[in-house]
Amino acid sequence: MEQGEIALSDREFARVKARVYAQAGISLSDAKRTLVVSRLSKVVRQLRLDSFDAYIDYLERGGSEKDSQDFVNSLTTNLTRFYREDHHFDHLISYVGQLMERRPRVGPDGKPKLRIWSAGCSTGQEPYTIGMCLLQAHPDLKRWDFKILATDIDTNVLAKAATGVYPESELGDLSPERARVFERVAGGEIRIPMPVRSLISFKPLNLMLPTWPFKGPFDAIFCRNVAIYFDKPTQGELFSKLGKMLVPDGFLYIGHSENVGSGGEGFRLVGKTIYQTKLTQKTRDAA
């Protein structure tokens, strides 16, 4: 069988779009047609199928959970880097500093708690940056019950993220001070130091699930450049749902080209793509 790209008819493209929307909430525009062909052709070939119609039939009638996951993995785009959108991390450092001044010691071990969620973490640069910048700015966090949840729908990028190993070229845009934090390993690679890696739990998650397998609350949520793949109603539903996962007065950080839209009733804009929830403890407990 020839190994080139497979032709995609209008009807087949419509079926692909409908399936990825139903499965992951991703809204593919007509401009993504070339991406669909290039990303999915090799998957169709590997399954020894001869058309996209046959591929969608296979997924609908007998494909495994892995096949469905491979379909979504192939259509997600994972562009990220360390310290992307600097102002978010500057704000987070200031916010956590204020929390540390006023948050009481809680729990049987006497440790105050800090919880942050990176929703759509891709290959891990975002949650690792959260951990690195906060430990650098606030060394006392090592004595806190501090955890970062990092989730993504794409299981391939999660596996990469969990290694904590990246090419040294990732340091190209970083200041010498930031670059010094990374460990150098063999083969021109760098590694996230263990104190940071130990903070983070990487978990697969489809944000379109009706319920999520955790309740929070989180002090801050990063959901950046995720909603751009959803239509407006889906974006509004997602941001509204994220707001209910935050502590009262907690913060949501979103991408530079995003806004909370119809999901913004529970937020106030406090900075460039930085939103603070209006949720009170009473309304959160009732949510």
pLDDT at position 198 is 97
DSSP letters, 1-25, are ---SPPP--HHHHHHHHHHHHHHH-
Contact call for residues 273 and 228 (beta carbons, < 8 A): no
Each domain of the chain, given as residue ranges in start order, spans 10-75, 86-286
pLDDT at 106: 64
Give the integer Cα–Cα distance in Å for 26 and 22.
Answer: 8
Full pLDDT tens readout for the chain, 287 residues: 346 678 999 999 999 999 999 988 888 888 889 989 988 998 999 999 999 999 999 999 988 888 998 898 888 877 789 999 999 999 999 999 999 998 876 656 778 999 999 999 999 999 999 999 999 999 999 999 999 999 999 999 999 999 999 999 999 889 999 999 999 998 889 999 999 999 999 999 999 999 999 988 999 999 999 998 899 999 999 999 999 999 999 999 999 888 888 778 889 999 999 999 987 654 555 55
| DSSP string computed for 64-124 | -HHHHHHHHHHH------TT-SHHHHHHHHHHHHHHHHHPPP-STT---EEEEEEET-TTT
Give the CA angle between residues 228, 245, 232 to the nearest 5°: 25
Assess contact for 243 and 252: CB atoms under 8 A.
yes
CATH level 2 (architecture), domain 10-75:
Orthogonal Bundle (1.10)
DSSP secondary structure string for all residues of 113-139:
EEEEEEET-TTTHHHHHHHHHHHHH-G
Tell which residue, 214, 265, 263, 271, has the closest CA to residue 94: 271
What is the structure's pLDDT at 2? Answer: 44
What pLDDT does 197 receive?
97
- The residue type of 49 is L
CATH architecture of 86-286: 3-Layer(aba) Sandwich (3.40)
Specify the pLDDT at position 280.
Answer: 61
Q: What is the rounded end-to-end Cα distance, in angstroms, of the chain? A: 55
Residues identified as active-site:
39, 152
